[in-house]
Amino acid sequence: MIQLHHVWWLAAAVLAAATFFDLRARRWGNALFWGILAAVFAGGDAILVQDAAGNHLPTQLVGVAVVVMALLAGTGGVQRAAPGPDETARREASAQRLGHRLFVPALMIPAVTTVLFLLAPFLVVGAWRLLPAENATVPALALGCCVALLVALYTTRSRPQQALAESSRLLDQLSWAIVLPMLLAALGRVFEHTGVGAAVASLIEMTIPTDSKLACTLAYGLGMIVFTMIMGNAFAAFPVMTAGIGLPLLIRQHGGDPAVIGALGMLTGYCGTLLTPMAANFNIVPAVLLELKDSYGVIRAQAVTAALLACVNILLMYLLAFR
């Protein structure tokens, strides 16, 4: 059975390859950054190991690693590698030769992931199963990426080492912003455990009529947008706003459907992702990669769409959650 730690080991292998390529190119800061992240992924199981006193000692090492990575990123130690003119010309020629076939591997990822997730309960032989019953999504995504890689190698007639080299190039292009979703999701858990959700609930109870379903729905939806804009990620905002408004007011007090509230609440939070520079990997890095003159051009182009989607999501939440 494919477990989560197998996925983490696969990610560690890709990051280790990036470390190797950066060492060979003498990009020492980049190599150290990806090497630390690779070690964290590879040693994920060790983080859960306790000593005789029940202390999670390796967790402290991970904390030190995160601080070192932050220092590397903040001091400019992680730099984006600019492609040479020959490399750019080669890519353009390859893209013209392959045409729309380039989209096939990318589309394979969501297609294979969805099929595997839906078929997970049936991919069982005796006591053996392909995907874990409790969390099939991430292993299914990893398998989808592996299938897409094989299709990409067949389509482009490239060697496997070329895939690792391109992965390293993409990591260097995205730079430190690639770890923001993980860090911000962890920040959401920190806020949840430190009682931010309870503080939000108290503030909401003082400012809105909590006996009104519409007022609570608006507070939850707009709160998801605002917190997402502050934190840069809906995953970080979701535990805070759900603990503060979604669970106590919409679900317990007004009897809302948890599935509808959770799904549409997260979707509403994504509207905030479209509006904030804190979501650097979505809104700032693409502007850099596309060499836009306006670094906030992506956000400006998305603003109207984000506002319309937010209105539709909040309306759907109000209409569907309390049927």
Quick: pLDDT tens for 221-251.
999 999 889 887 787 788 888 888 898 899 9
When computed from its CA atoms, the radius of gyration of the chain, rounded to whole angstroms, is: 22
- Per-residue pLDDT band at 93 (split at 50, 70, 90): confident
**Residue 44 predicted with pLDDT over 70:** no
Q: How far apart are CA 45 and CA 53, in angstroms?
A: 18
> Which phi and psi angles does 128 have, rounded to 5°?
-100, 140
Q: What is the mean pLDDT of residues 115-139?
A: 85
Q: Is the pLDDT higher at 83 or at 176?
A: 176
Distance of CA 215 to the CA centre of its chain: 30
Share of the chain above pLDDT 70, in %: 91
Q: How far apart are CA 214 and CA 216, in angstroms?
A: 5
In this structure, of 205-214, 233-242, 277-286, the range with the lowest mean pLDDT score is 277-286
Residue ranges of domains in the chain: 4-175, 180-321
Q: How far apart are CA 139 and CA 117, in angstroms?
A: 9
In this structure, of 142-146, 238-242, 257-261, the range with the lowest mean pLDDT score is 238-242
* Average pLDDT, rounded, for the chain: 85
Say how many Å lie between the first and final Cα of the chain, rounded: 40
pLDDT for the residue numbered 293? 81
- Report whether 17 contacts 151 (CB < 8 A): no
Share of the chain above pLDDT 90, in %: 36
In this structure, of 50-59, 120-129, 130-139, 154-163, the range with the lowest mean pLDDT score is 50-59
Q: What is the pTM of this model?
A: 0.72
Q: What is the mean pLDDT of residues 161-168?
A: 88
One-letter identity of residue 108: M
Q: Is the pLDDT higher at 285 or at 242?
A: 242
